[in-house]
A = this chain, B = another copy of it.
Amino acid sequence: MGERYFQHTFPNGLTLLGEQMPGMQSAAMTLMLPAGSSTDPVDRLGSATVLSDLVLRGAGPRDSRQLTDYLDSLGLQRGSGVGIHHTRFSCAALADRVLEGMPVYADIVRRAHLPPTGFDAARDLALQALAGLDDDPRQKLLIKLREWHFPSPFGRSSMGKKDNLEKLTVELCKADYGRRYHAKESILAIAGNIDFERVKDEVARNFGDWNGSSDVPLEVMPPPGNFHHEKQDSEQTHIGIAYPSIPETHADYYTLRLALEVLSGGMSGRLFTEIREKRALVYNVWAGYSSLKGSGSILGYAGTSNDRAQATLDTFIAELHRFVEGVTADELSRAKIGLKASIIMSGESTSARAGAIAHDFFMRGRIRTVDEMKNAIDEVTLDRVNAYLKSNKPGPFTIVTVGPKELKTP
Contacts and interface: CB of A to CB of B under 8 A. Distances in A.
A120 interface: yes
Interface string A285-328: 00000000000000000011100000000000000000000000
Contacts of A338: 72, 75
Contacts of A120: 280
B349 A69 contact: no
Interface string A252-281: 000000000000011110000100111110
A373 interface: no
Nearest to A25: B344
B72 A268 contact: yes
A268 B131 contact: no
Chain A: interface size category: 35 or more
Contact of A68 (B92, B137, B138, B268): B268
Contact of A132 (B25, B57, B236, B333): B236
A277 B94 CA distance: 27
Contacts of A69: 268, 330, 334
A166 interface: no
Interface in A149-168: none
A344 to B, nearest CB: 6
Most B-side CB within 10 Å, residue of A68, A76, A138, A350: A68
A65 interface: yes
B283 A132 contact: yes
B64 A277 contact: yes
A219 interface: no
A136 B74 CA distance: 36
Given A132-B236, A341-B93, A273 B68 contact: yes
Contacts of A42: none
Top 8 closest pairs, chain A to chain B, by CB: A23-B23, A75-B341, A121-B280, A124-B280, A72-B266, A75-B337, A72-B268, A134-B235
Interface of A: 22-26, 57, 64-65, 68-69, 71-78, 92-94, 97, 120-122, 124-125, 128-129, 131-138, 234-236, 265-268, 273, 276-280, 282-283, 303-305, 330, 333-334, 337-338, 340-342, 344-345, 347-350
